Structure 1
Amino acid sequence: MKLIKMWLLILLCVDMSATVWINSDSDDSDYFRKCCGKNEILKKVTEYNLTMLEYYECVEVSYANEKYNVSISPLIITKGVEVQNGVPSDCENFKAITINNAETDIYSSDNICYDRLDIEILNGSFVKNIPKTIGLSCNKSEGANITRSSLKINQLRKCCPRGQQFDTEYHVCRESYENYEDGWLKDLNISENYIYEVEYGLRCKLDEYALELTETLFTMTVNNSSLLVVNKSDKEERTFLPGEWCMDRLYNGNGLVAQTCTQDCKGFGAFGLRKCCPQGHHFKVLRCGSFISECVPDRDDSTLFNISTYTDPLRSNYHDLFDVMGIRVGLTCPAGRFGLDTSIPQDQHRLTPDAHLESGWILTNTYCLEMFDRRDCPSHDITITAVLCFQPAPEQSQRKDYRISSVVITISSVCLGLTLIVYCALPELRNLNGRNLICHVSMMLLAFSCLARVQHSAVENYHLCTFLGYGIYFGFVAAFAWLNVMCFDIWWTFGSVRTVKPLRKSASERRRFIWYSLYAWGITVLLTLTMFLLDRYPVSIYLDANIGSGACWFGAVQNTETDWPHYIFFVVPMGIVTCTNFILWLLTARYCAKVKSEVHRLQAGSVGERVKKRFRIDRAKYILTGKLWVVMGAGWVSELLSTIVSDPQWLWNIVDLINQLQGVFIFLILVVKPKLYYVIRKRLGLEKPDAHKNATSSSGRTSSTFLSRTISSDERANLRISRPQSIK
């Protein structure tokens, strides 16, 4: 019996010794082995030559800052923790273990050390790496004393980088030269023994607000890696896990501030709003006179996020409304976004007590506020305004395949090209009216060619997009101008009463074509140049067309208040031209009826037959001009109506298809005619010689537009002089 008790005692002693040696939890045996000493950081070097060489070393903080310009994030260890320094010695191969969270076991041993890895060199090149805490172990001796420690490496996140503190007035980190450990860290008031790895900054999710909680309203306690927040007014408790919170000292103030990520602003009584750019950034205007900008870092205090113009009007009636602020970064707009110009009365806006944005035409919570730096522009100022989302297109429009439009417009462009080739190749067509048509068709071809490219797919290159936009504008304006010339010319032919000098017809037509060219090209260049200059050097949002900015046409959404340049530079001028053409067409119809009655009274004879033939030709020109006016005028009318009424969508799809087929209609009007078919066959040598006679005999019955040499200038003058007074 005594022998059995003795063996049990021996086994108990051995078991207790093993427990102390291998897995002791006694505080007396707890110590933390840190790889590098004070003012040193851990560096990893890896080289791949014939064999891989990998080693770790400790370097001075000052040397690391000077050579690698890295942000040092050391482990924070309280004075109550026993610390030993040193990398395991006489070890050729290390095993590195990343310490991910406080659940990772820590061991006390001479063969294991822990530290922050801030520098990593691979084949002589610095590797940008987020600092991490690692454990280096060396199992050179199987009998080494390895003890599991009761210590844990917890996570602590500082809101601002080293040397900065958080400013709750401007919601940003600002420079402060207060000592790192003697500042915010002492205010945490943690009495227990602890080891913390420190991270910087807070990254909330896209749908979360970063609340700013101060010690005046909340009690905040750090519990390992979590933050316990207690509302002093209602004693409600909230716990935030690692990665959901950060803490820092108040800028130019006493106490701490915590930022916490949450979607529940109302639960904390917070006033939540959006900031367009990330913290510490603002908008830099890329083009003066517009809100086209990019986010850039703050360089001085003048661009701080100052929202006092929005908050001050509310503070007088709601004193505690902004005690807790929640800032959410970014604004996602599928259809694009635009800034409100406070110099325009309808863009005046304000914040409501429930954090909505209100103006005379909208009430929304889908907005963001930001500072716009315009110091490089003539205004030379920095302003803050709201940015809103364009309303997304209707569901039907979103499903519209613009590639089909591109194909239809390309077909129209081919027809316009064929029309242009025919009129340029046949001398019989190059009279005054033919030259007018050539100019008109060539400009339609320019506009439709650029439009086909824009409709095919998105144009990524800004300069190409701008060029195509101005090509579309110049082509359509010039086409309208030349149509106006043709309407005026036919009115001049029928309705003018003037003394005609006995000049050669070719010289008279050449002079008229020069005057027509000066008018058509002059007004087109004037409008395009004016719009270009106001686009590049804007003086008002009403005159800033934004060609190429977000769209290759006018950079605004149709049917909105931002579409004024589209009306001013295109809809209204083309409307004036279209109405003028219609008036000229009606006047010409009136004169045509009068001339027709007088022509029928002429007796048969050489002059009478020529006058009748001349009348038929001019009437054909009048009818052709009317057809072109209908084709072009229908496009303008639909353009105007679409700015007023946008439904039903299927109707506008049909109207768009008709407009896209304008080139086909022009080809049918100008080219697909029997007389022109004969001339083309004759030019190609496909017509028999005796066909000319038949064609000539039937020419009086055709509606061709190019037989303007039938009557001489002298005979036309005599005809006009001999007209009865009632026709004048």
Structure 2
Amino acid sequence: MVIRLKSVAMSAVFGIVLCTLLPQLFAENVEANSTFTASLDLENKTGETFDSHTESPAITNTSGAEVPRTNTVDPLSACPDFPGLQLPGTVVKCYCLGNEVFVDGKCQPYTGAVVPAQEDWIYTVEAPVEKYNVTIRDVNCDPTKYRSFNFTKGQFHMRSRGDMVLLKGAGELEGQRINNYCLIHHLDPGGDQTWTMKACVPIPSIPVCCPFGYAMKEGSCQPAKTPKLLLPPVLANPSGSHLNWPGMKNYRSELTCDSEPMKTIPIAYKKSNLVSLADGVKQVWTPDGTRRRVYYPCPEYCVDGIENADGSIDYFASFCYQDPKEAHERACQKGPCFRKCCAYGSSMDVHRNMCVPDKNANFSPPVATDLTSYNIAIGYPLCNNFAETGAGLTIDSDGRLDLQSRQYPPSDFCVDTFLDKDHREHKALACGDGPPAWIRVKSYLLPVCKFISLFFLSITIACHLLVPRLMADGGSFLLCYAISLCVAFATSFSVNVFHEYLGDSSCVNLALAMQFGFIATFVWLNVMCFEIWRKIRCLANHKFPTTYSNGFYMLYGWGIPLSISIVTSAMQHLAPDNVYGLVKPYIGISRCWFRDDIGTLLYFYGPISIVATGSSLFLGLTYMNYKTLVRNFMKIGDAQRNKGEEAGSDKKIASPKLPPAVITSPIQDFSTKLKLFSLLVFCWITEVLSWKIPPMELWALTDILNGLQGLLIFIIFLLNRHKRALVEERFPLPFNLVRSCLRLKGKPTVKQDNKSPQEQENSTSSTISIDLQRQN
């Protein structure tokens, strides 16, 4: 009995000691490791509910505040291990065979089972399952490495390289690549086939360069103020936006660079980013002077964070980097050389268009001499544009590629083993001719021309706002026209200059604004053509021109383009993909504009063509009425002369006259509108022709004129003598400076009288009179 009491007492004491020491040991273990896990919420923008694994409940301290959960990992552990890509042409199903669907917990035959596949880079099609090798394997996501999701029809498709890509319906995870997945084919309540994907999305694990309190500087870890937990912005895809990932981890990765110097750059959007791909987080960087992204997987990069005085954190990525041109020159210093596309032990996968590990790699390209006599540099050709070449290549003794009666210098090609399933063949990636010289010049010249147009459009707008008399007789319509074209050119200029820094939403919004601006330009020109037709028609019919409310014109001029932009935006964001008979704009897919011709025609060129046709009709009718007005004036003039001859040569017969502005203003407006319309139609016709008729150099002059529309409109505005006089009366200094410059050059200047604009107009139009009494 005594022995039993002693045993119980010793057990109790041991339990108390153990309970006391374990938390301290655990806390010390957490402090000793530099790997942490963040607990942040990821919200789905679309409101869809994803089934994820159950996370442990939040831990709170004594004050009730939530304490971030941590996950300890060996600080010197290797890179996270994620499965590679599925084999091209293979689809993974969770339970049933390819021609079966899962209904009520059982597999049953189904004719015509399909897979949401990718075609033509972005289109999603329903491809028959028979086209693929079906592997049956359920997935169970390791909660320490993955988050578990269920995605439904319309939220994903399969790429030809074998992985799944999430679509816009997946919310913030749009563009995420997934390798670890399986499909479930089942039937919806209506009995139609649908599908679900069980997916394991990797939890981002960030390699940290230095331990807590240190950061990488000049190639070594030096003391710095750093946060314990690094939470850098991580993208779901190279073109996506930054997300706050739940469960983000850190682990120590000691980066050493031997043959190449270490480079440290800030993590900045569109320049250098961390991207969560299916095989882990990679550093994606676009070197200066190139357009091709460079991917650095773990352990080829690491990240540091430095805390600023205001509490913000700047993140930096470090990696080993040697300028490709310098590395190529160094490799070629001591003899003939050429480039190998992939590192040794890797080959080029044709379907994935990327270098992949190859256990059977045997690099032995056809060379003129022994392969060991060449110096080999690693990497793609030193150009921005290159493409795969055909077979039958040879490399001469100087390292040049002989292919199809053409020679490429060593810097303009790379050669490697290309894998096409089980087939291996030595091919090359060779530089193309590149864009024509005019295309390169155009990329710099057009933004300058558009900036000049914006400057003169701004002057035109300012003149109308500062000289209220310009707003009379339809001047407000010309102001709206200039504002519309200013919006169009400002957005077009922004896209041309800042396209590399635009996010997806900014790209779409700028495209919609550009569409609105250009369509509004044609609509307001249509308003001006209608208004001048109405006025001259009244004069030709011996009537005073009637007036319409400006509110009606404003509703039409701004309402039509706004309605078209709203419909386009709704179709862009709400319309489903690949529905027969439904044309989705697909803005921002490959550029900040419509993806294909049918969308451009329906949402842009179509409305413009309809409005431009109406303007052409109004101008044609205006010209006919103008000729009628001239004939009436000539008849009245002949009648006046006959009356004068009958009454005697010394007696003049006066006839009632219209107020001068009633006659001269519409005639001058007709001339202005005709010039504006001719300019706009000419620009757009040449734009379409240059798009379809090569070569591009043929349209160099018209491209420049299109970019200078704002300047040309300003000149047309000043050619209107009445408007020019009003502006000169308000701002005489610029006109005096121009006259002074012309006088210094010895050119005669037109003598200006001192009459006011109204007196000049009365004088100019004093010879025009029409008998308004001749009405039946």
Name the TM-score class by shorter chain. Answer: 0.3 to 0.5
Q: TM-score, normalised by structure 2?
A: 0.42
When Rg is computed on C-alpha atoms for both structures, the one with the higher figure is: 1
Q: TM-score, normalised by structure 1?
A: 0.45
